[in-house]
A and B are shown apart, each in its own frame.
Chain A
Amino acid sequence: MPRLMDIGLDKLNTLLLEMATLSESAVSASIEAYSKGGKGENVRESSVRLQSLHRQVSDLSMEVIARFQPVASDLRFIKACFEISYGFYRFGRYALDIVEVLNILGDLSRCDHKAVIETARNTQEMIRMSVDAFARRDVDLARRIRKMDDLVDESYREHVRSVLAQKKDVRCALSAALILRYLERISDHATYIGESVDYIVTGIEPSK
């Protein structure tokens, strides 16, 4: 027989899945705008919506805690909801930051996009993995995200050094460096989401 608390837990799950889809598409749209010269029109809307959903997750989590005093896997799920929801919200916020770079620095179509595109490919893969790991509560997949994060960190450091070494066009170098930084932060949050999935399933806390 379903428990009263399950209504709240199911709703939390639904909210997080909506955030996952929205944040994944916001990051994709921002990278496409960079590489193809668009303006990422829907990204701001998605980012605002993600912030609102993040608040809904926080409020609902607190309500479930206050009403049902969850324990064990229920408690771990709710604890993880805060981190996962924050991660998805941050994906959207960094996507918006990328679009802001385009708005401030203008047309970047003549820049070499290779460094950003390469890093973005890995970052987007990490986002997909974190979303799938959460949807399927897949610990193995969740644990693979951390390994990819090391790759992104390494690639970020290399690319930043190389784009800054190109002194021909400051706008290109600056935009690439900023966007690389945002992608690196997105990868970190994807890693935290993976760790939260691990915690929901196994109880192993990220710091331990």
Chain B
Amino acid sequence: MSSQGLEVAYGIYNHEDAPKAVTTGPRVDIRHLNAYYGRKQALYDVNLSVSPNQVTAIIGPSGCGKSTLIRCINRMHELIPEAQVKGQVLLIDDYYRDGIDVYGGTLDVTEVRRRIGMVFQKPNPFPNMSIADNVVAGLKLNGVRDKGRLQETARKSLERVNLWDEVKDDLKRSGASLSGGQQQRLCIARAIAIQPEILLMDEPCSALDPTATAKIEQLIDELKTQYTVVIVTHNMQQASRVADYTAFMYLGKLIEYDETTRLFETPKEQLTERYITGKFG
């Protein structure tokens, strides 16, 4: 685990010499976002600036819109029939320094999802593919055929998610034959193989046991050195363990967004206080 991640997570750097948050990496700026399922509104005027190379957690009770929010970031929301989005999701990186609206029409939806990768609640490796083929499936879809490059990417991605040593002798095994925790790390390897800038995770540990969860959390902390991570979790302890910033949502609205240590120690909003202390929800 990176030492910086640990120190920030534990608040050791809460003094004047603390390293300042990186502000130059890729990030997402959500502006006046409203989302709908048919006539039912799921998000109300959400504004949220996701910090680069940091982990941002979104918490809130079931049905509050947290999954809808991250699915809007990489345009997964529109896959649902009659779903609509209004507002802007700006992707800001070295190339688009002023930001480009992922809904603006300039960026192709495939390109949006290449730049903004996603990992889902239930590990979903392609069952008919080997471990190695699972990792490079996205690259192949993007037309990469060079065998050497594909192998190299598979190795690097599996190393990055701390899975290489566990599977290197049997890369031709089916991805579905791995344990739940290994499958989830395989899915993260698949997501980062296409070199995204932002990594979205929708309750990535909810189907995993505590040991597998700890490995994924350690991995998330390591990944933030390279990626900007947004994670939806219903587990508040997980948010407090892995996230630098936390957003609390309720009934489709963003109620409070702050540094994780501050939000969990001195929340500004009564709704946040009541939710995180288990007094409702």
Interface 1/0 per residue, A23-54 and B, CB below 8 Å: 00000000000000000000000000000000
In the assembled complex, the CB of B239 is this many whole angstroms from the nearest CB of chain A, namely: 10
In the assembled complex, the CB of A28 is this many whole angstroms from the nearest CB of chain B, namely: 36
In the assembled complex, the CB of B247 is this many whole angstroms from the nearest CB of chain A, namely: 15
Q: For A5, list chain B residues within 8 Å (CB).
A: 278
Select the residue from B267, B272, B277, B279 with max chain A CB neighbours within 10 A: B277
Q: Is the CB of B237 within 8 A of A72?
A: no
Interface 1/0 per residue, B252-280 and A, CB below 8 Å: 00000000000011110000110011110
Q: Decide yes or no: A71 and B279 within 8 Å by CB, A76-B265, A76-B266, A203-B265 being known contacts.
A: no
Whether a CB of chain B sits under 8 angstroms from the CB of A74 is yes
| Alpha-carbon distance A70/B273, docked complex (angstroms) | 11
- What does DSSP make chain B's interface, helix, strand, loop or mixed? helix
In the assembled complex, the CB of A5 is this many whole angstroms from the nearest CB of chain B, namely: 7
Q: Is the CB of A73 within 8 A of B277?
A: yes
Whether a CB of chain B sits under 8 angstroms from the CB of A69 is yes
Q: For B237, list chain A residues within 8 Å (CB).
A: 69
Whether a CB of chain A sits under 8 angstroms from the CB of B236 is yes
Total interface residues on B, CB under 8 Å, equals: 13
The answer, among B264, B278, B279, for a CB contact under 8 Å with A75, is B264
Interface 1/0 per residue, A52-87 and B, CB below 8 Å: 000000000000000001111111100000000000
B280: nearest chain-A partner, CB-CB: A1
In the assembled complex, the CB of B274 is this many whole angstroms from the nearest CB of chain A, namely: 9
In the assembled complex, the CB of B213 is this many whole angstroms from the nearest CB of chain A, namely: 15
For chain A residues 128-187, which have a beta carbon within 8 Å of chain B? none
B237: nearest chain-A partner, CB-CB: A69
In the assembled complex, the CB of B263 is this many whole angstroms from the nearest CB of chain A, namely: 9
Q: For B240, list chain A residues within 8 Å (CB).
A: 69, 71
Whether a CB of chain B sits under 8 angstroms from the CB of A110 is no
| Alpha-carbon distance A76/B277, docked complex (angstroms) | 12
Select the residue from A70, A72, A74, A203 with max chain B CB neighbours within 10 A: A72
The 25 listed contacts between A and B (C-beta, < 8 Å) are A3-B278, A3-B279, A5-B278, A69-B237, A70-B277, A71-B240, A71-B264, A71-B265, A71-B276, A72-B264, A72-B265, A72-B266, A72-B267, A72-B272, A72-B273, A72-B276, A72-B277, A73-B273, A73-B277, A75-B264, A75-B265, A76-B265, A76-B266, A203-B265, A203-B266
Query: Can you add 10 more A-B contacts, CB < 8 Å, to A70-B277, A75-B265?
Result: A3-B277, A3-B278, A69-B237, A72-B264, A72-B265, A72-B267, A72-B272, A72-B276, A73-B273, A76-B266
